[in-house]
Chains A and B, each alone.
Chain A
């Protein structure tokens, strides 16, 4: 079965969606990604959807769910490169994806994740006793 590759790079996991998402593919990604986060003890996940041209309410919700699940597993998540048409569609569908962090492109997304990880590390340093 077709799968979306998940690349590990240090503490980061990179997911680039290069094909049009269908429902089963999204469910498989949800499974794979959560498993990989735990296995690799990843601290940050970047999901690139710049090639995604068509979304429906299900895929929209899947994006939100995947981001929320990563957060639960203590991995900072950022969704990058959403196309204008996709953004408008999601807003019109009433899915503003409130809990999802977003960035314009991979570069901005990586900068954001780096900053977040740095903040986490500092927080951990502040409380060494815990």
Chain B
């Protein structure tokens, strides 16, 4: 029975394919969901034509069960289209409307054919609705997954981008933190810092929080954990880049930072670090300045204790 009904629908679609396609494209271009700035008329025409051709073939072969193997090609096409539209910035509604807007032209054809048989018309309409709804919801599902994939990838990229460990000088590392510190990021930050400490044998590390927008008790806790872990390995940490508001917040929250050396700017922290390493930055003598290439690399030199 399903196959029989599908065949009626298939016949209708096949016989009036050209008319349905034209009306469908018309319906799509006149609604608000048409994004002419994102998708050209030609591309829309091509997409619609391919979809309708595949649908006619699928309905004639496998009836109206959209989960059957004859619909594999259609699902494939919808998947590609939804991914593409998610990337272009369509909304889920606009994406699903691509399929849903096909209903009206098909219903009009069915009406013409079942003029004298209201019961048959209702049956066919119901089957068509179920079929197109399934396909329409499928696009939404794929669209959602595409979006989630994009978000997950961006999160990964951010995690990698935001935790570089820089060697400022021999034996002095810097870790400029940018963005909010949550548990997952702290873990990555802590591990990469400690690993670099082992790799480089640097006894001093500067954690710069200029780019951290807010510090709450949890963030402070994470920072202190990182400092404690580094200390256990034998490296000292200096926290720098504390903005006035953050200093106020830290004190108001009652966070105990007295065990840690804190500095207002990265420059101050670097000065402390150089001093502890027994180094000093000295102004270049007048004679040397005239020939900077010769003395430039040795701007910092050991001083006697």
Q: For chain A, what secondary structure do more than half of its interface residues adopt (helix, strand, loop), or is it mixed?
A: mixed
For the complex, is B39 an interface residue (Cβ under 8 Å from A)?
no
Beyond A104-B197, A105-B201, is A84–B229 a contact (Cβ under 8 Å)? yes
What 0/1 pattern do residues 68 to 107 of A give for CB contact below 8 A with B?
0000000000011111101110111000110010111100
Contact between chains at B234 and A91 (CB < 8 Å): no
Whether B78 sits at the interface, judged by CB under 8 Å, is no
Count B interface residues, CB 8 Å.
Answer: 18
Other-chain residue from B191, B195, B228, B234 in contact with A104 (beta carbon distance below 8 A): B234
Residues of B229-278 contacting chain A, CB below 8 A: 229-235
Q: Select from chain A the residue with minimum beta-carbon distance to B201.
A: A104
User: With A96-B228, A104-B201, A105-B201 in contact, is A88–B190 under 8 Å at CB?
Assistant: yes
Q: Are B197 and A88 in contact (CB under 8 A)?
A: no
**A82 B203 Cβ-Cβ under 8 A:** no
Q: What is the minimal beta-carbon distance from A86 to any residue of chain B, in angstroms? A: 8
Name the residue in B197, B198, B230 with the highest tally of chain A Cβ atoms < 10 Å from its Cβ.
B198
CA distance A47 to B145 in the complex (A): 54
A112 to chain B, nearest CB (A): 9
| A108 interface residue per 8 A CB criterion | yes
Complex CA–CA separation, A86 to B232 (angstroms): 9
Interface size band for A: 20 to 34
B50 at the interface (CB under 8 A from A): no
Among residues of B, the one whose C-beta sits closest to the C-beta of A60 is: B232
Say whether, besides A84-B194, A84-B198, A90 and B232 are in contact (CB < 8 Å).
yes
Which residues of the other chain, A, contact B203 by a CB distance below 8 angstroms?
A: 103-104, 108
Within 8 Å CB of B233, what residues of A? Answer: 81-84, 87, 102, 104
A-B pairs with lowest CB-CB distance, top 8: A84-B194, A103-B234, A102-B234, A87-B229, A87-B232, A104-B234, A96-B228, A91-B229
